[in-house]
Structure 1
Amino acid sequence: MSPARQFVVLNDAPLGDGADEDLLEVTSVARALTDLIVASRDTAPFTLAVDAAWGMGKSSLLYRLQATLSAEPAVSTVWFNAWTSGRASALEGLIKSVLLGFDRNVIRRALRSMSKRAHLLGAVRSLGLVAASFFGLGRVVDEMWQRMSLDARARNQIKGVLRDAFGAWMAKGAASDGGRLLVVFVDDLDRCASDRIVEVCEAIKLYLDVPGIVFVLACDQSALWRAVQESAGIGDPAAAVEYLEKIVQISYRIPAPSPEQAMRLVDGYLDRSRTAGLFGEPLKNLIIGRSGRNPRRIKRLINSFVLEYHLNRSWDAIGLENLVKVIMLQHFYPAFYRLLTNPRHLDLISEFLEYHDYRTAARQGGDVDADRWAELFASKGLRPPQSSELDELERELPAEYPALAADRDFVTLLRSIDGPSERLMEQLQRRPLTLFQPLVERPDEPEPLEPPLRGRRAVRARLRAGEPSRPALRDLRILWIDDQPPNNAGLADYLRWSGVHVDVTTGRAKALAAFSRHRPDAVLSDFRRGTEEDAGIDDLAFFRGEEVAYSGPVLFFSGKIPGLVLQERIRELRADGPTNNEEDVVQWLERVAAAKNA
């Protein structure tokens, strides 16, 4: 194998844990957060949440922040991984981690404090505990925990013991500039089950809320919010937010990389994996756009290519650039990829491109060349294109085609495949790619929704399944604001079939024009507009203002779950959601219709 073929897998090591290059550019953020924590040491205890979605670099920021804080005078750090800390309770693991951050003399003072608490342990056990202090610190901490957790009364004294230990530790460094500070990093909290998440939160608030300690939590705050609702028995969203506000005093949301940062990130990953020569600018831009600039998703795509090539060297003959493009189809267009692996389809790529070209010509209203598309129509048992409607052709084609034909990135990707497409399909049907599961790292999350059928075919599919229209929705008027309307074409057509007047717009300006034409009974909205993550909420605040004065119901229909601050804004603006479930939207609209007709 030539050196150019020696591609390597990228690991998931965060910055500071084997990753030696700051591709995520977190160093400046870590420096700023360090300055904030050190300047605020007199106000400790407090908790800082580093908030981001899965794979967006929380651990990398935490490792760099720990390294920066550790270099500060009189600052000590402790690391606790809530997900991999073993089967012990989160309370036990967290408290032991904190105690192990002290030196032996502090622990001995804590032992004497425990010896004075007669209800915690008897004289014989007290002597045994003091004797244990001459052994390793880990054994002493284990013994201390065993004594503190004997019964409910003993557990009630844990905070007193810890306060004594912290007092001794702080006093020892009283002469240092600004006093001592212990920073406890809690990583991977959002990977845990709901009950474990709540247990960590309660440990922080009930037992470790003592002077001189700062907690830094790496978590997706929406996961914390769900856990509090599920495990703490707080069903009311507002009450769940209030509960978390008692735990987390300050939150830093890691932004998605800018387009320039994302390009540097992709280039860095490609260089590390030795695959840079296979990814041109158009492919890199597609990865950035379709991955949501998520570093872990970008790594997984590159690793999928490396794995597939090492498992099946026959791709050398078909072209490694073609393998890259098929991997991208598998990750970003899974429905079409599944069609490619179906032996019933002989040359799906050529068929789709022929359909796309005919669709473009037909929609532009010009003459069509019957000879060019005769084979496409004949293969579906249809008349020549002069006498055939586009709808008739689309009824015979896979349901995904109309939406894919409107996706310029997809069409460009398909056209860029080199060589005969029949040969590539033969390869995939003989030996499909290794199974790709995008959410394998987050087993606690629900399975992703299958891509919905779109357009008229979606309505027909519902009819074939025996699903009736919703007569209760008839004559309801809704305004739907979404910068990617094709993503919701199926549901929009279904609502129209049920008698709803659906006015689809792509942003604030067009929505204002729609408001001036007709006052909607309800508004559906997404969150994002291009690179603006929360434009949907800002738009709603504008529509609620004096210029539009819309006071009706609003539902956010989006797969994104916003952070706590944005959830509070949603409630303040009297909106519902978010949801990514089509049936939830329909049921919500039925309630709107019922209220309108009451």
Structure 2
Amino acid sequence: MNALPNPARRFVVLNDAPVGDGTEEDLLDVTSVAHNLSALILASRDTAPFTLAVDAAWGMGKSSLLHRLEATLSAEPGMSTVWFNAWTAGPASALEGLIKAVLLRFDRNIIRRVLRSMSRRAHLLGALRGLGLVLASFFGLGRVVDEIWQRMSLDAQARNQIKGVLRDAFGAWMAKSGTPDRRRLLVVFVDDLDRCGSERIVEVCEAIKLYLDVPGIVFVLACDQSALWRAVQKSAGFDDPAAAVEYLEKIVQITYRIAPPSVEQAIQLVDGYLHRSGTSGLFDESSKSLIIGRSRHNPRRIKRVINSFVLEYHLDPSWDEIGLAHLVNVILLQHFYPGFHSLLAHPGNDHLIGEFLDYQELRAIVKHGDQVDADRWAKLFESKGLRPPRTPDLAELESELPADYPVLAADRDFVALLRGMAQHSRVLVHRLRSRPVGLLRPPAVSPDEGDFGAPRIDGRPALRNLRVLWIDDHPSNNITLADHLQVNGVLLEQVTDRAGALASFRRFTPDVVLTDLGRGSDKNAGVTDLDHFRHGGADYRGPVLFYTGGPPGFATQKRIKQLGADGPVYSAGDVVAWLERVATAKKA
């Protein structure tokens, strides 16, 4: 019989409602930013139209800021707002949806003016004849808007002429309740744009372009600018990355970048979420630090970790018997170190935690140049089928260990996590094998940018056992993609510089190399290193992909091609797709 949850424990799931929607507490002080942006929009009302982009990665609070900004602006006289969710707007085109959303904000008298103006243009009237009769009801107004859209969608000439009609309608609407010193303003909020596919993103951009010479309108977009840039380049067919940038510069006049929460804010955020979920006291300072660091201060990812704990406890309350601190450790391990967790749950790895901690201790001794007692470490070498050397050879041992062990051994949070599990490792290993923790695995879909900005990986066998060397001086930026690759069978080794890469070429023998472009003040360090790998230190002739944050200059791009490398690419989905192509070709 399954155990029942302890009634004294009231753990609850955290929802994903934005700040300002319902009773969500403002843990990140979004309100003050909203007031500042509101003041900017109000001060600039006479220069409208313009577009303000709120830029941030998935889960970093874009919707929360937009909700607070809308609430702040709505309290101002002469101000009207429209909310358009590009992701949930339905199957109709985004261009149609956004235009209708704005038209429906006008009252019946303004719509009548539109009809009269259009009636004077015989070729635009068409199906609109006689529709004045339906203006008496709300549903009639919606129907007229539908008919106006049908006229607009006929051809470019009709759309351009109706654009002039709409400009007149905006003028009438603004004059209706405005004053000489404070004209009326319509602010259109477009949320979740970066969750949409490339074609829909471009449709929204085109809709905004249609309005950008209409006075009195301001667009506020919530989007990840990098996703927007990639979508425009892909869907609009720009071969030159600079052309995509120029296209967006014509649409977005000002960008506010949401900074990641500071350490103090992130601690406040975690404490607030723990209190709200009823889990305060279960996560110690080390656990909080690990969540904050590995989630990269992302509020949505932090919530997902806490929710995983709440879910697992409710599914299996017998964790009370073992200790909830151990459940916390298991959840952290599976969320942030899925590759090691998979090894731990695999039969035959009963002593994996102790073995890793022994390796980590030996590695620290060797790295510090301290004297090594060979007898002390003989058992570790024997467990890997190696003859214990008189002087422990770290390179020989590491050749028999998983490729990511050197990176994990340098990860203080990971080492602390395993030390917290070491005393009860046998119980936990048995538990994981008999009752696996039910954490969601990476989604099994085609490689692409997911709805939430995380890479989607399909799990096909093409990636299995592919040996990837990843060179990046900021490996913490690659946590999500690195973990997903390892879950899908990639043998991954991460290094931060040329010296580490050269050692890896000798020890690891990679099938492919994934590299950044700039490191520190050297914007072309990746190209320089590849030249060295090709013609000097490593004699490496295999596939190379540059994965970076933005387009390089023409000379750099030319040099990348001369060295026989691919890229650069800018999304995790592109990295996965490239790795699969290389792996498939390698096995053919």
TM range (shorter): 0.7 to 0.9
SS of alignment partner, residue 403 of structure 2: coil
Q: Where in structure 2 are the equivalents of 1:469-508 lying within 5 Å?
A: 482=473, 487-488=494-495, 495=502
Q: 139-148 or 54-63: which moved more?
A: 139-148
For residues 50-92 of structure 1, the C-alpha deviation after alignment (integer angstroms, 9 at most, x for no partner) is 0111111000000000000101110100000000000001111
SS of alignment partner, residue 268 of structure 1: helix
Asked if 1:261 is matched to 2:262, the reply is no
C-alpha separation between the residues in 2 aligned to 1:15 and 1:267?
A: 16
2:429 to 412, 425, 431: 425
Q: 1:268 to 1:560 in 2, by over 3 A?
A: farther
Asked if 1:24 is matched to 2:28, the reply is yes
Asked if 1:314 is matched to 2:318, the reply is yes
Partner in structure 1 of residue 161 of structure 2: 157
Partner in structure 2 of residue 39 of structure 1: 43
What are the ranges of 5 or more consecutive residues in structure 1 without an aligned counterpart? 451-457, 468-479, 500-521, 527-535, 544-549, 588-598
Q: 1:176 to 1:16 in 2, by over 3 A?
A: farther
Q: 287-296 or 136-145: which moved more?
A: 136-145
Q: Kindly provide the amino acid, as one letter, of the partner of residue 561 in structure 1.
A: G
Tell me the matched-pair count: 511
TM-aligned CA deviation for residue 169 of structure 1 = 0.3
- Does the CA-based 8 Å contact 1:73-1:177 persist in structure 2? no
TM-aligned CA deviation for residue 141 of structure 1 = 2.0
Partner in structure 2 of residue 335 of structure 1: 339
TM-aligned CA deviation for residue 389 of structure 1 = 2.2
Q: 427-436 or 22-31: which moved more?
A: 427-436
Q: Where in structure 2 are the equivalents of 1:386-465 lying within 5 Å?
A: 386=390, 388-417=392-421, 419-437=423-441, 442=451, 446-447=455-456
Asked if 1:326 is matched to 2:335, the reply is no
Percent pairwise identity? 64
- Does the CA-based 8 Å contact 1:57-1:295 persist in structure 2? yes
Q: Kindly provide the amino acid, as one letter, of the partner of residue 549 in structure 2.
A: I
SS of alignment partner, residue 114 of structure 2: helix
TM-aligned CA deviation for residue 288 of structure 1 = 1.1
- Does the CA-based 8 Å contact 1:361-1:368 persist in structure 2? yes
Q: 1:211 to 1:438 in 2, by over 3 A?
A: farther
Partner in structure 2 of residue 56 of structure 1: 60
Partner in structure 1 of residue 549 of structure 2: 561
TM-aligned CA deviation for residue 105 of structure 1 = 1.7
SS of alignment partner, residue 78 of structure 1: strand
Q: Kindly provide the amino acid, as one letter, of the partner of residue 334 in structure 2.
A: Q
Q: 36-45 or 113-122: which moved more?
A: 113-122
TM-aligned CA deviation for residue 313 of structure 1 = 1.8
For residues 340-391 of structure 1, the C-alpha deviation after alignment (integer angstroms, 9 at most, x for no partner) is 1111211211121122223333444444445544443333333345365223
- Does the CA-based 8 Å contact 2:58-2:452 persist in structure 1? no
TM-aligned CA deviation for residue 232 of structure 1 = 0.6
Asked if 1:106 is matched to 2:115, the reply is no
Q: Kindly provide the amino acid, as one letter, of the partner of residue 31 in structure 2.
A: T
Q: 384-393 or 206-215: which moved more?
A: 384-393
Q: 352-361 or 37-46: which moved more?
A: 352-361
C-alpha separation between the residues in 1 aligned to 2:322 and 2:426?
A: 11
2:130 to 109, 128, 131: 128
Partner in structure 2 of residue 213 of structure 1: 217
- Does the CA-based 8 Å contact 1:368-1:386 persist in structure 2? no
TM-aligned CA deviation for residue 487 of structure 1 = 3.5
TM-aligned CA deviation for residue 571 of structure 1 = 4.7
Q: 1:320 to 1:498 in 2, by over 3 A?
A: closer
Q: 488-497 or 349-358: which moved more?
A: 488-497
2:197 to 184, 193, 197: 193
Asked if 1:140 is matched to 2:149, the reply is no
SS of alignment partner, residue 207 of structure 2: helix
TM-aligned CA deviation for residue 557 of structure 1 = 9.3
2:518 to 522, 525, 530: 525
- Does the CA-based 8 Å contact 1:106-1:169 persist in structure 2? yes
C-alpha separation between the residues in 2 aligned to 1:193 and 1:579?
A: 16
SS of alignment partner, residue 281 of structure 2: helix
Q: 1:369 to 1:112 in 2, by over 3 A?
A: same
Partner in structure 2 of residue 85 of structure 1: 89
- Does the CA-based 8 Å contact 2:516-2:548 persist in structure 1? no
For normalisation by structure 2, the TM-score amounts to 0.79
Q: 1:483 to 1:129 in 2, by over 3 A?
A: closer
Q: 1:189 to 1:273 in 2, by over 3 A?
A: same
Partner in structure 2 of residue 503 of structure 1: none
C-alpha separation between the residues in 2 aligned to 1:43 and 1:72?
A: 18
Asked if 1:293 is matched to 2:297, the reply is yes
Asked if 1:358 is matched to 2:362, the reply is yes
Q: Kindly provide the amino acid, as one letter, of the partner of residue 404 in structure 1.
A: L
Q: Kindly provide the amino acid, as one letter, of the partner of residue 137 in structure 2.
A: F
SS of alignment partner, residue 124 of structure 2: coil
Q: Kindly provide the amino acid, as one letter, of the partner of residue 264 in structure 1.
A: Q
SS of alignment partner, residue 310 of structure 1: helix
C-alpha separation between the residues in 2 aligned to 1:407 and 1:306?
A: 27
For residues 256-298 of structure 1, the C-alpha deviation after alignment (integer angstroms, 9 at most, x for no partner) is 1111111111111111111111111111111111111111111
Partner in structure 2 of residue 530 of structure 1: none
Q: Kindly provide the amino acid, as one letter, of the partner of residue 456 in structure 2.
A: E
Q: Kindly provide the amino acid, as one letter, of the partner of residue 131 in structure 1.
A: L
Q: 1:5 to 1:347 in 2, by over 3 A?
A: farther
What are the ranges of 5 or more consecutive residues in structure 2 without an aligned counterpart? 444-448, 460-464, 477-492, 507-514, 531-543, 561-567, 579-588
